Chains A and B, each alone.
Chain A
């Protein structure tokens, strides 16, 4: 019976279209009935089940598992020549060492000796990542204020983002840690440690390339305003215009439709010295004003809808690490060269 059931389950799994296209002409009439029965049984079991949430077995409990090969192929998958010992250390979490120590103590070994865990490497990797990402962003967004640069950096260094990347590189199965399934914090920490491992094995510029190739693509095709959004855009806009020696913007209604209906729609233009600075639409006049101020700031900072092609091709060794972008309070378009201003204006 068990062989029969296994065949049923295998035949029913949705990934088998390719196999079926090769060797199976039709679906047997018993398939539907059997699947229905199996589902009914599973539902019944789930209904009465009150234990902890069921998780699938860890991959290392399978017969086909060789940790050394897995770690080796992980390094190769990243396209790096990594030092084996360093990589193994980068994959050991603190919780694993504590767990193993407890196990050995229970057996009677008082002072067991283990290698180092990845905490130190994770710290090193975190600093490296933070510094490199911020200097890369300053080159990629030369007109974006420092506040925005920091916001994007924080978004990239978030636990969830790093965990997602680490998961998609196949880290979750080879991390030595207590929690199963692996928690986001552990995954993010391991990825940072792997960056440090790359830096120690093949040098700093390889580590920077690693970050550019595997972490920064997260920004490709992304709108910066979805990461960094100013709550009150009119105040910084006024400050910037003041820095440039221009008067406050004057909002004017330049279009309205469907007034007093569900779909009311207003269009506001911001004028400075009778010149149109930007336009914005919204369901009330105040929102339209706000959006218009946002659009003005976005075209000033070079982060409009059309600037979504994030440059991923810069030479990592030529990126300066010192110069900061101007902050929001000191920002003025006079700080940038005329050519740069023209480029931004044509793209806006």
Chain B
């Protein structure tokens, strides 16, 4: 984003009135080509008018084309769109193919495009599973629990404290002792049998 776009309105990609859902409506309604018959700056536009304009108008009957010669002025293109947007563009010193491309660019554009896109995509359904609420993915066991719950007092991922570790070690030692003494008792009883 450059400095120039800081004050530009921002928004998302959108089609004017669901255009193209079923039927495509060309958004360019009118195009005015102003040029000079003598000056060199209009050379490219003059060539375009001579060689391409009739075909352009025939292929796009939905666009009204106005051609306006004016003496000793620089060539200009004015495109008017269905949303009321009017785009002015100078074609000074443009070649014929440059004029052709810009005019086709205006033809396929959809009106006011002077917004800064926040994202290059847009969706009406950002979440598939729905909006989060306090009861989403909640354990059903909590519905009948009586609070305060002892287990819920401590953080979920808290590591054991040093005291707890020592107590656990002590408990393990006790267990081992019990097992050993149990074994010795068993062996004693076996001996007596023999």
Contact = CB atoms under 8 A, between A and B. Distances in A.
A72 B61 contact: yes
A281 B133 contact: yes
B118 to A, nearest CB: 17
Given A78-B25, A213-B22, A17 B135 contact: no
A73 B61 contact: yes
B89 A18 contact: yes
Contacts of A170: 29, 82
Interface stretch (B13-21, B48-56, B173-181): B13-21
Interface size class of B (residues with CB under 8 A): 35 or more
A14 to B, nearest CB: 5
A168 B64 contact: no
B64 A217 contact: no
B146 interface: no
Interface stretch (A30-38, A62-70, A85-93, A226-234): A62-70
B135 A281 contact: yes
B18 A218 contact: yes
A313 B21 CA distance: 10
Contacts of B133: 265, 267, 281
Nearest to B76: A10
A255 B143 contact: yes
Given A64-B66, A213-B23, A217-B21, A255 B134 contact: yes
A114 B133 CA distance: 65
Contacts of B62: 73, 76-77
A121 to B, nearest CB: 22
Nearest to B77: A19
B25 A169 contact: yes
B88 A16 contact: yes
Contacts of B183: none
Which of A17, A79, A170, A267 has the most CB atoms of chain B within a 10 A radius of its CB?
A170
B87 A267 contact: no
B130 A14 contact: no
Contacts of B85: 15
Interface in A237-284: 254-255, 257-258, 265, 267, 281
A10 B89 CA distance: 9
Nearest to A3: B73
Contacts of A267: 133, 135
Given A17-B114, A73-B62, A255-B134, A165 B25 contact: no
Contacts of A313: 22
Given A23-B90, A73-B62, A170-B29, A217 B22 contact: yes
Contacts of B125: 308
Interface in A133-169: 164-165, 168-169
B4 A17 contact: yes
Interface in A5-56: 10, 13-19, 23
Contact of B82 (A14, A76, A169, A258): A169
Contacts of A189: none
Contacts of B8: 14
Interface in B118-140: 124-125, 130, 133-135, 138
Contacts of B112: 15
B17 A77 contact: no
B168 interface: no
A147 to B, nearest CB: 26
Nearest to A265: B134
Contacts of B83: 168
Contact of B29 (A13, A73, A255): A73
B32 interface: yes
A7 to B, nearest CB: 10
A19 B89 contact: yes
A312 B22 contact: yes
A259 to B, nearest CB: 11
B90 A19 contact: yes
A127 to B, nearest CB: 23
B63 interface: yes
B104 interface: no
A18 to B, nearest CB: 7
17 contacts: A15-B112, A18-B89, A19-B89, A23-B90, A64-B66, A64-B68, A66-B64, A73-B64, A168-B17, A168-B83, A169-B25, A213-B22, A217-B21, A217-B22, A255-B134, A258-B134, A305-B130
Interface of A: 10, 13-19, 23, 63-64, 66, 69-70, 72-73, 76-79, 164-165, 168-170, 212-214, 217-218, 220-221, 254-255, 257-258, 265, 267, 281, 305, 308, 312-313
Given A16-B88, A77-B29, A281-B133, 14 more contacts: A13-B88, A15-B112, A15-B114, A17-B4, A19-B89, A63-B68, A66-B64, A76-B62, A168-B83, A170-B29, A213-B21, A214-B22, A255-B143, A281-B135
Sorted nearest first, the 3 A-B pairs with minimum C-beta distance are A217-B18, A213-B22, A213-B23
